[in-house]
Amino acid sequence: MSVHASIEPLAWESAFFALHSGRLRFCDQAPPLQAAACDAYQLVQAKVPADDLACCDALYALGFRLAEGEVDFVLPVQAASPSGGQRPARVEDCLWLRALAREAFALSRFRAPWYHPQDSGRFYAEWVEKAVYGTFDHACLLALDDAGSPQGFVTMRALATGAARIGLLAVARSAARRGVGRRLVAQAQAWCQTQQLSHLSVATQIGNLAAQRLYLGCGARLDATAYWLYR
């Protein structure tokens, strides 16, 4: 089987990781992918539906290897108001947000041997700070304890389709097993309502059972599964 795809340069990631990177864009009209085209990059990423094993096999023949599995969920947009203290994140929260992101997302698809060990946490720390400023993700909300101290955060992005996607969701270790994750999901759902968005999507690693249980417990339905392959 031939893989018909072009390679999209990933300019921002290339600069951030100091790693010339591209991503496959599959298209039946594209010419068959050649190893020489991939050789022009230090790293080429491919996201393949988990049921397309023929494509996975063809990419393996070109030197790609499995990096991570991903599960995508769709959550309903509910009318119920989220419980507990909450507020939008502010610039002065960024140090706390970055520290939590580095800890919570130390393991991801941005992992060795393709990336440096600290790259994953560094990437997601940058992501959450950008969300505070409304760039890439459009909002960052905090869950607060009774004293007003942050316990976790969730970032959201409105899509052109009229839906929304959770970018990141993390709970501080000191606030684990207190229902903070459910509160953050409820905050994201309420944000969708205020923005008049139809539904809410979220993805997580296939091995992150705690996150999958959280979303299913909040009424999510499984929407898609995929593999990330790297070369």
Catalytic residues: 215
**Cβ-contact 41, 7 below 8 angstroms:** yes
Q: Which of 162, 161, 152, 160 is nearest to 211 (CA)?
A: 152
- Tell me the backbone φ, ψ of residue 202, rounded to 5 degrees: -155, 140
208 is in an annotated binding site: yes
- Rounded to whole angstroms, the Cα distance separating 198 from 22 reads 32
- Going along the chain, which residue ranges are E strands? 5-9, 21-26, 43-49, 65-75, 85-88, 139-144, 150-158, 164-171, 200-205, 221-230
Q: At residue 4, what is the residue type?
A: H
Q: Which of 124, 134, 181, 182 is nearest to 156 (CA)?
A: 134
Please state the residue numbers annotated as binding site for acetyl-CoA.
Answer: 208
Please state the residue numbers annotated as binding site.
Answer: 208
